[in-house]
Chain A
Amino acid sequence: MSLAVSELRRTPLCDIHCQMNGKMVEFGGWHMPVQYAGVLREHHAVRTGVGLFDVSHMGEIEVIGPDAEQLVNFVSTNNAARLKIGQAQYSALLYEHGGFVDDILVHKVSDTHFFICVNASNQWKDNEHIELMKLKGGFQADVVFSSERYAQIAVQGPKALQTAQKLTSTDLSSIRYYWFRDGEFAGVPARIARTGYTGEDGFEVYVEPEAAGTVWNALLQAGAEYEIEPCGLGARNTLRLEAKMALYGHEITATINPFEADLAWIVKMDKGNFVGRDALEKSSRSGITRKLVGFEMRGRGIGRDGYEVLIDGLPAGWVTSGGPSPTTNSNIGLCYLPVEHAHPGVPIQVLVRNAPVDAVTVATPFYKREK
């Protein structure tokens, strides 16, 4: 189904994207820029300088009340009780059967207030899920759907710190990776998180929607000396794939569990009960049958999302995300394979438009920044 452009959701920066000649596409019901100057140029800008992303389509859900921590811990896989105030954590919402509802970023604002960033197209489903689990567990907390209250802008790359620092009196270098602070940014109240979806250093800045244009333009100006590039969803995808960050609907779905997705590190089985725990317990006892693994093309061809993977000529799995890696200059991807083959060094073939093309499984991430 395709929606008419007029029916698509727009971020507060939509007009700016059009004015700046962003190439607009439909993405999960949103009218979003897929690229500005070009995916490769934007990709390299983030790896070597700084790039700017409108990620206002992402959703925000806040859990507030005396049982906020208990509720967050009950609906998510990571241990929210381990978070200090001002700290953020990658986590997941699961169904009882162990499959993903979504992957999320949990921020602890106070002992009774958690701020959760969720995927754009999942935000209503996530909100309903958390609300339902709240009723189920009888938690005393409000689940507040706040997406309309926030625009989100990501500034990413080795020059992100210098760029963003020009716009705030908050000492950004003192915010550690996966921590955040509330302050003023480009003259407006902001939540400034040292997080991102690119594998680079950088910040994700949450502001009220009315201020989005001001913040966007201020960042473009502040980053001019580092040749900042506005970036679209195309570069966002190639960057996150190189860093092996999961994308909902690709690596993680309702029928995949975190162990299969190579995300055991966000599951804390010893933290007490949580939604999906019984299913994961079973999965862990019986062992998983398939697992996510990286691959690199050896033959001529590019393995793309959804392509079939063969081992010794027989169907063995599928590509979840695949494409060219501008940083490593190779064609890379992630795929599900039977667990006995899901380790580096296994020769595989990717069925590229009915022709098997040689590839080999490799260690991930494909790219890791030097610290």
Chain B
Amino acid sequence: MTYPETYRFTKEHEWVHVEGSEATVGITDHAQHELGDIVFVDLPKVGSAVTKGQTFASVESVKAVSDIYSPINGEVAVINDLLQQTPEKLNEDPHGAAWLIKVKLDGAPELNELMQAADYQKYIGAE
């Protein structure tokens, strides 16, 4: 699994991809692997606010529930309907088709604190 150069990564294993005033948020391949078989994804409502560092969704594997934290501030523009019916897609394509939400950004995102792909891969290697 590749970690796209254009994504930025959190220590809690979310990724964010900013394109203009919109950002796509998901969880990393490392995260899905650690969670195991994903059976349920609980996403926020379109129009709700997400706040940097605050939980906005939860992902459940057979064994456990994990909170997902937002790397950015903004408003939920789109949620990924694919995950409502087929949560297992998150195990298959976490950096692609199985993104979680698209966010309309509230101002310029602070991406400096987030890791680049190479740093994140070092980080999970050491974890």
Which residues does A use to contact B, with CB under 8 Å?
23, 34-35, 38-41, 43, 234, 237-238, 300-302, 304, 323-324, 326, 331, 353
Classify chain B: how many residues form its interface, as a range: 10 to 19
Tell me whether A324 and B65 are in contact in the complex, defined as CB-CB below 8 angstroms, given that A39-B36, A40-B37 are known contacts.
Answer: no
Distance to closest chain B CB from A343 (angstroms): 28
Across the interface, B40 reaches (CB within 8 A) one of A38, A234, A302, namely A302
Which of the residues A23, A41, A237, A302 comes within 8 Å of B39, measured between beta carbons?
Answer: A302
Q: Is the CB of A301 within 8 A of B42?
A: yes
Asked if A38 and B36 make an inter-chain contact with CB atoms under 8 angstroms apart, the answer reads: yes
Bound state CA distance, A324 and B61, in angstroms? Answer: 9
Contacts known (A301-B42, A302-B60, A353-B58); A234 close to B36, Cβ less than 8 A: yes
Chain A residue at minimum C-beta to C-beta distance from B58: A353
State whether the Cβ of B62 lies closer than 8 Å to any Cβ in chain A. yes
B58 and A324: CB pair below 8 A? no
Least CB separation from A304: chain B residue: B65
Chain A residues whose CB sits within 8 angstroms of the CB of B61 once the complex forms: 39
CA distance in complex: A324, B36 (Å): 13
The majority secondary structure among interface residues of chain B is strand
Looking at the assembled complex, report how far the CB atom of A22 sits from the nearest CB atom of chain B, in whole angstroms: 12
Could you name 18 residue pairs across A and B whose Cβ atoms are closer than 8 Å?
A34-B63, A35-B36, A39-B36, A39-B37, A39-B63, A40-B37, A40-B62, A234-B62, A234-B63, A238-B62, A300-B40, A300-B42, A301-B40, A302-B40, A304-B65, A323-B62, A324-B60, A353-B58
**B42-A324 in contact (CB<8A):** no
Ranked 9 nearest A-B pairs via Cβ: A39-B62, A40-B37, A324-B39, A234-B63, A38-B37, A39-B37, A302-B40, A324-B62, A302-B60
Segment 60-78 of B: residues with Cβ below 8 Å from A: 60-63, 65
Residues of B within 8 A of A34 (CB): 36, 63
> Which secondary structure characterizes the binding site on chain A?
mixed
> A355's closest neighbor in chain B, by CB?
B42
Residues of B within 8 A of A304 (CB): 65
Q: Which of A35, A41, A304, A323 has the most CB of B within 10 A?
A: A323
Which residues of B sit under 8 angstroms from A238, Cβ to Cβ? Answer: 62
Contacts A39-B61, A301-B42 known; 16 new A-B pairs at CB < 8 A: A23-B36, A34-B63, A38-B37, A39-B36, A39-B62, A234-B36, A234-B62, A302-B40, A302-B60, A302-B65, A323-B63, A324-B40, A324-B62, A326-B62, A331-B40, A353-B65
Q: What chain A residues lie within 8 Å of B40 (beta carbons)?
A: 300-302, 324, 331
Q: How far is the CA of A161 from the CA of B42 in the complex (A)?
A: 42
CA distance A35 to B61 in the complex (A): 12
Q: How far is it, in angstroms, between the C-alpha of A38 and the C-alpha of B40 when the chains are bound?
A: 16
Bound CA span A40–B35, Å: 12
**Nearest CB of chain A from residue B85's CB, rounded to whole Å:** 11
CA distance A289 to B39 in the complex (A): 35
**How many angstroms between the C-alpha atoms of A239 and B34 in the bound complex?**
21
Cα A41 to Cα B91 in complex, Å, equals 13
Nearest CB of chain B from residue A33's CB, rounded to whole Å: 12
B37 cross-chain contacts in A, Cβ below 8 A: 38-41
